């Protein structure tokens, strides 16, 4: 979508029901899901 020096901005076309995350965001979501499922308080 854009290039600004060494920074590149990309765009992804996907159906609305498909989640597209950067790898570090997907990993954080997996950890949060695992922690909430294993918690006795929930």
> What does the pLDDT read at residue 39?
61
> What does the pLDDT read at residue 37?
82
> What does the pLDDT read at residue 41?
55
State how many domains the chain has.
1
Distance CA 35, CA 21 (A): 19
CA distances from residue 11 to 2, 7, 18, 22, 39 in whole angstroms, order as listed: 9, 13, 14, 12, 36
> What does the pLDDT read at residue 38?
72
- 20: Cα separation from own chain's centroid: 6
Overall pTM > 0.85: no
pLDDT one-digit tens code per residue, 1-42: 999 999 999 999 999 999 899 999 999 999 999 998 876 654
Domain extent, residue 26, equals 2-38
Distance CA 37, CA 39 (A): 6
């Amino acid at each position: 979508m854009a290039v600004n020096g060494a920074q590149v901005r990309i765009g992804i076309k996907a159906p609305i029901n498909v989640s597209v995350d950067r790898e570090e965001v997907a990993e954080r979501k997996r950890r949060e899901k695992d922690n909430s499922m294993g918690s006795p308080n929930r």
